[in-house]
Amino acid sequence: MVDFGPLSTDGAFRLLHDSRRAWQLVPLPASRAFRADIRLDALDAPRAVVQAVEPIDPFFPLAKGPEWKQNGNVLHISCDAFSFGYRIVFK
């Protein structure tokens, strides 16, 4: 995992977080499975509570949904990268 401050990851993706209700995590082309630890408070969402992390347009019928959990202000995600992206939905 490489620590970039607001997040740590062993993958490559874009994180679009311009909405308070949902963010989008979009793996870069040819990405492999990856993990990410996102510090919500460092991205201007200190009291955010994640409701769901959903795949967006899976490439394969057997694509798995992401595994995720929230510990305080840190969102831990593991994705197989077999979807166009993943929607992080907040309560």
Each domain of the chain, given as residue ranges in start order, spans 2-90
Residue 40 — φ and ψ, nearest 5°? -60, -40
| pLDDT surpassing 90 at residue 17 | no
Is residue 81 within 8 Å of residue 59, measured between CB atoms?
Answer: no
- Residue 67 CA to residue 19 CA, distance in Å, equals 22
Label residue 11 by pLDDT band (50, 70, 90): very high
**Sign (positive or negative) of CA dihedral 57, 61, 65, 66:** negative
Give the predicted TM-score (pTM) of the model. 0.89
Is residue 34 within 8 Å of residue 26, measured between CB atoms?
Answer: no
Q: So what's the pLDDT on residue 89?
A: 95
Q: So what's the pLDDT on residue 7?
A: 93
Q: So what's the pLDDT on residue 38?
A: 95
pLDDT digits (tens, 9 = 90+) for 24-82: 999 998 889 999 999 999 998 888 999 999 999 988 888 888 999 999 999 999 999 88
